[in-house]
Amino acid sequence: MNRSSSQLDQPLRELLKDRRIKALLTALDRLAEADQLAMVTTKVLARLSRVSEGVMFRLLPNKQSVFLLWMESRCKRLNLIVNGMPQGRQGLLNGLRNIASDSALLSLLFAPPMVDETLRLHLLRFRDDIWAQLFARIEILPNRPLGIPSRVLMDSVWQNLARMPRAIGSDYESQESEMSQLPWEENAMENPALPNSESVKRLALNDNGFVFDPVSGHSFSVNDSGLILLKLLQEGLNAKTLVQRVVDEYEADAHEVERDLMDFSRLLKGQLK
């Protein structure tokens, strides 16, 4: 039996449509990774996806629809991870590792949102929802450190995720190693990921917090707390001694100092690459 050419072409057209939509969503991933969501134009999207603006608007009615489709598909993936996490420490860690190793999901959670009010609110509502789900997991976690509110623990988990590098080609192995334990766990302080001692010692810094690396030529600034930690790191102190020094000298809370040190070390390592 002969079929018409339009019938024969139908599966091919569907395949082509799927590919083009996938290309558009991948292009949005790349833009999100580069923190460019707020500035996306259809022209840029067309260039990156290699789907012309005309074709784009035959597939989807407007730019907002492209963004919504992107958010829905990535939100679905993220929800699957978060909802599918088994209860307990290992389940939480596995879930966090899965999120950390997917730059598109990290961008969905942490990239600066779009200018469009509807899209922005949609995205922020989704982020709040994920935050609440992770928070609920932490609240029922066994062996939580005594005396530290769940909100503080959640805050450190969220910050860890937010600081994961999101660029294409990021070192996922190192990201996974960053997520090998929960930020407040004791082992984390026994062998925290402090930057290489020689790299820290070579840094030139002044009292205003301006830091210059004479090898890479990078310069950056640190706040007062960062400056205190950096000066102590330059003395070559190990993490425990360093935390104790800060606790003694500034009457600070040890848990907060530990968390700050881990966060600061991660940022500093990024600068010293």
For another protein, the binding residues (CB under 8 A) are 50, 169, 171, 204, 212, 214-219, 273
- C-alpha 92/C-alpha 100 separation (Å) is 12
- C-alpha 37/C-alpha 39 separation (Å) is 5
Collapsing DSSP to helix, strand or coil, 248 comes out as helix
Nearer of residues 120 and 202 to another protein, judged by Cβ: 202
Backbone CA torsion sign across 230, 236, 239, 241: negative
Nearer of residues 144 and 218 to another protein, judged by Cβ: 218
Minimum distance from residue 160 beta carbon to another protein (Å): 20
Nearer of residues 231 and 273 to another protein, judged by Cβ: 273
Burial 17-48 (b: 16+ CB within 10 A, else e): eeebbebbbebbbbbbbeebbeebeeeebbeb
Nearer of residues 54 and 169 to another protein, judged by Cβ: 169
Give the pairing type, strands 210-212 and 204-205: antiparallel
Minimum distance from residue 262 beta carbon to another protein (Å): 21
Minimum distance from residue 171 beta carbon to another protein (Å): 8
Minimum distance from residue 218 beta carbon to another protein (Å): 8
Minimum distance from residue 74 beta carbon to another protein (Å): 23
Task: Decide if 142 contacts 88 (C-beta within 8 A).
Answer: yes
Nearer of residues 144 and 202 to another protein, judged by Cβ: 202
Helices (H), the chain: 5-33, 42-49, 53-59, 63-83, 89-100, 103-110, 117-139, 150-162, 172-178, 186-190, 197-201, 224-234, 239-250, 254-271
Minimum distance from residue 239 beta carbon to another protein (Å): 23
Nearer of residues 219 and 244 to another protein, judged by Cβ: 219
**What does DSSP assign to residue 165?**
-
